[in-house]
Amino acid sequence: MKKSYRQPSAIIILILLSLTLLAFTGCQNSEPAPAPEQPGAEQPGTDLPTPLAEPVEQNDFILGTIISLKLFDYAEEAYFLDSFNALRDIERRMTINDANPAESEVMQINENAGIAPVKVSEDTFEVIRNAVRYSELSDGRFDPSVGVLVKLWNIGTDYAAIPAKEEIDARLPLVDYTKIELNEAEKTVFLKEKGMLIDLGGIAKGFGADVVSGILYDYGVRSAIVNLGGNVLVMGEKPDGSPWRIGVQNPYSERGEYLGIATITDKTIVTSGVYERYFEEGGKRYHHILDTTNGYPVENGLVGVSIIADISMDADALSTAVFSLGPEKGKALVESIDGIDAIFVMEDKSITMTEGAKAFFELTDNNFHIVE
């Protein structure tokens, strides 16, 4: 009997300093908002509302997942409205699942594969450009042109099923980021071969988190949690000046149980794992992270990878790229990029991490063990 699971991709649980779990339930600017600035930047002006006595949270369902914005120092309705509208705009332009393809720039690119370049907005071009950059860095293990395989497997939908090997083999040649032609001056994107499909599901949520943090920063917010279905970005510190404590999900337990805590400030943490979206058939689990070399779900001993970075779009793309590369090559990639750290969880419950991660990660579940 086949079981199909459509869980939100959230696999990170935010934890207050007291280790009380924060429960997370649950876009239209013409210009993308700037990324959040680093600590020490100019402080909020004097036209802000009265500081909050208690945090204010609002939730919505956008980008196929539950969005949670929790503000700790200042909050007005416009902060939430502008943030959610910006995410809806990203969804509208970057989706490949919209009933109205004319609204999606990515769907227009896909429909014109092998035919003609498509002019896109600045932020769509930026996301695709960065997706190609991470494809190059990972030797194609992260590849936005994986859409033909994603549509074939349908993991995360009621139609998930194991495709015939002949179907997979026929589509593999279309998964090739080198056939994505970008024109920086014209802001056009061209897929060189008919049938190719771009899918930005591995990077768009990270971009969205950066956009939202930029909007909130412009309003003067300096202490907030932006959670896009598990792509978590923390702004600044807690109001009391202490760092945020973020729990990393235990992949072998129910959601809400964590195996360790990352203590961070003004960072983002994104996790990819075999327990996010999957289905079971014939007693075997088939997860959504597809191997671009053979067309099947990745099998390399990893069950989860958490990336900690300053920019959520980087962390989002890298979480998939590093998971696909495996623990050794993935760690080498992370350590080659400044400001990035990673935590690797293996099938045997061993945990390895980059040197930088050792300074802020604490293991709390004795069923797991850290190895050097």
- CA–CA gap between residue 305 and residue 273 (Å, rounded): 6
3-state helix, strand, coil in the chain (%, to 5): 30, 25, 45
Whether 174 and 219 map to the same domain: the answer is no
Predicted confidence at residue 27, as pLDDT, reads 38
Predicted confidence at residue 2, as pLDDT, reads 41
Q: What is the mean pLDDT of residues 299-306?
A: 93
Residue 241 neighbours by CB under 8 Å, 6+ apart: none
Whether 329 and 264 map to the same domain: the answer is yes
Nearest Cα to Cα of residue 88 among 27, 12, 132, 152: 27
Predicted confidence at residue 256, as pLDDT, reads 63
Whether 20 and 156 map to the same domain: the answer is no
Predicted confidence at residue 158, as pLDDT, reads 84
Q: How confident is the model at residue 221 (pLDDT cuts 50, 70, 90)?
A: very high
User: DSSP state, 226?
Assistant: E
Whether 253 and 297 map to the same domain: the answer is yes
Nearest Cα to Cα of residue 229 among 105, 161, 316, 329: 316
Does any domain span residue 36? no
Predicted confidence at residue 276, as pLDDT, reads 72
Predicted confidence at residue 299, as pLDDT, reads 92
Percent of the chain with pLDDT over 90: 72
Last residue of a domain, one of 191, 221, 252: 191
Does any domain span residue 371? no
- Per-residue pLDDT reduced to its tens digit, 45-82: 557 788 888 999 999 999 989 999 999 999 999 999 99
**Cα(first)–Cα(last) distance of the chain, in Å?**
40
Whether 170 and 234 map to the same domain: the answer is no
- The whole domain housing 101 covers 93-191
169's enclosing H/E stretch is helix 165-171
Q: How confident is the model at residue 277 (pLDDT cuts 50, 70, 90)?
A: confident
Q: What is the mean pLDDT of residues 269-286?
A: 82
Whether 228 and 107 map to the same domain: the answer is no
Whether 235 and 346 map to the same domain: the answer is yes
CATH number of the domain that 137 lies in? 1.10.3980.10
Residue 307 in this model has a pLDDT that exceeds 80 = yes
Whether 76 and 152 map to the same domain: the answer is no
Query: What is the overall mean pLDDT for the chain?
Result: 87
Q: Report whether 22 contacts 30 (CB < 8 A).
A: no
CATH number of the domain that 332 lies in? 3.10.520.10
Does any domain span residue 136? yes
Does any domain span residue 35? no
Q: How confident is the model at residue 275 (pLDDT cuts 50, 70, 90)?
A: confident
Q: What is the mean pLDDT of residues 115-144?
A: 97
Residue 29 in this model has a pLDDT that exceeds 70 = no
Does any domain span residue 39? no
Number of domains making up the chain: 2
Predicted confidence at residue 160, as pLDDT, reads 87
Percent of the chain with pLDDT over 70: 86
- CA–CA gap between residue 211 and residue 62 (Å, rounded): 14
Chain CA centroid to CA 229, Å = 8
Whether 164 and 249 map to the same domain: the answer is no
Whether 121 and 230 map to the same domain: the answer is no
Predicted confidence at residue 255, as pLDDT, reads 61
Dihedral sign (CA 7, 11, 16, 19): positive
Predicted confidence at residue 86, as pLDDT, reads 98
Task: Please name the residue that has the structure tokens 């190609």.
Answer: 132
Q: Report whether 131 contacts 140 (CB < 8 A).
A: no
**Higher pLDDT, residue 39 or 200:** 200
Q: How confident is the model at residue 249 (pLDDT cuts 50, 70, 90)?
A: confident
Q: What is the mean pLDDT of residues 80-100?
A: 91
Q: What is the mean pLDDT of residues 333-354?
A: 96
Does any domain span residue 200? no
Question: How many CA atoms within 13 Å lie on the side-chain side of 246?
Answer: 34
Whether 109 and 69 map to the same domain: the answer is no
Whether 151 and 16 map to the same domain: the answer is no
Does any domain span residue 81? yes
